[in-house]
A = this chain, B = another copy of it.
Amino acid sequence: MKDFFVEDAARFENGTVTTYFVLSSLQVRDKKQGGQYLALTLSDKTGSFEGRMWDDVGEALASCSEGCYVKVQGDVSKYQGKFQITLRKLRLAADSEIDPKDFQASTKFDVEEMWTELRGYVAAFKNQDLQRLVFSFLDDDQIGPAFKAAPAAKRLHHAWLGGLLEHVLTLVRVCLAAVPFYPEVDPDLLVTGAILHDIGKVRELEWKSSFSYSLEGQMIGHISIAQGMLREKVQALAPFPEKLRVLVEHMILSHHGKYEFGSPKLPMTPEAILLSALDDLEAKMQAVRNEFAAAEVAGRDPDEVTEWVRSMDRSLFNSKKYLKGE
């Protein structure tokens, strides 16, 4: 059991701790005239800090690599205002010693509350076929729990446990807020798309110790995985209206909105167009949040733009903070 977290370092200054971390980075560096030492980054869900290990590094190197859970013993100290740890011992941790929740970031919201709210929207559907369809996913022994646990991405937006559910729920809410202004849109169909569009991520991503892509995720992708899952559910629910199957499948396939983002079809229905636009907006606003948080940590002034955001080809700017700084 892990009883020391990075955020507790102040209480252990100049003391010795024995605990578990994810070994987030590991570099071997030359010591003068023979010998090597290790420069490491050690992380848990509350943060990370730098470590050095000066002696007996051979055995550690032989068993541990980046991404592993490790058990360490070391001395906590403060230098130039930051805490660091000098390791005496370092070894691979056994799975049985580890509770992954201690190491991975997870949603700040209550998963069960989010789940209940989401199911509530489905329970309110007028279209019983779509209701049957969505519940067949949510009630699935494998898909349901994975839906609650999965991150929404390896990096970038909602990359934490429960991130997929959090992303989907926000998207459903925004969709429902927009529906009154677009009478061309069938609300049940739209919400079905919002709930299922990223369902392939429960097989595309793996989140045991760290977040990564499954082989199927890399070879098939979450869009086509979701399409396959839909086919299976539709077959199990037979008879299921073919028209609805085509419309839902189209929303899943087209939700990235552009061929170059991996959608094999462009959105053609009002629901698909709305879903794709609001999903893209959600992702962009989450990126905004991440960048503003990073700028906060980096101590940027209210009139400074953020670091360059490669995925958006621009810097961002926190207008609210700027106005408050007035």
Which A residues fall within an 8 A CB radius of B?
A: 28, 30-33, 36, 52, 54, 58, 61, 79-80, 170, 173-174, 177-178, 180-182, 184-186, 189, 215-216, 218-221, 223-224, 227-228, 231-232, 235, 241, 243-244, 246-247, 249-250, 253, 259-271, 273-274, 277-278, 280-281, 284-285, 288-289, 292, 303-305, 312-320, 322-323, 326
Contact = CB atoms under 8 A, between A and B. Distances in A.
A270 B174 CA distance: 16
Nearest to A61: B80
Contact of A268 (B280, B285, B305): B305
A180 B182 contact: no
A235 B229 CA distance: 12
A173 B181 contact: yes
A136 to B, nearest CB: 16
A264 B180 contact: no
Given A177-B177, A228-B231, A262-B259, A270 B36 contact: no
Contacts of A288: 184, 270, 273
Contacts of A28: 80
Contacts of A241: 326
Which 4 pairs show the lowest CB-CB distances between chains A and B? A269-B319, A177-B177, A277-B281, A219-B250
A36 B215 contact: no
A315 B246 contact: no
A253 B219 CA distance: 9
Contacts of A263: 264
B265 A319 contact: no
Contacts of A221: 253, 264-265
A227 to B, nearest CB: 6
Contact of A36 (B80, B173, B249): B80
Contact of A326 (B54, B174, B243): B243
Contacts of A319: 186, 189, 247, 269-271
Nearest to A262: B264
A270 B224 contact: no
A42 to B, nearest CB: 17
Nearest to A267: B314
B285 A182 contact: yes
Contact of A305 (B215, B274, B280): B215
A320 to B, nearest CB: 6
A244 B319 CA distance: 9
Nearest to A263: B264
A75 B224 CA distance: 57
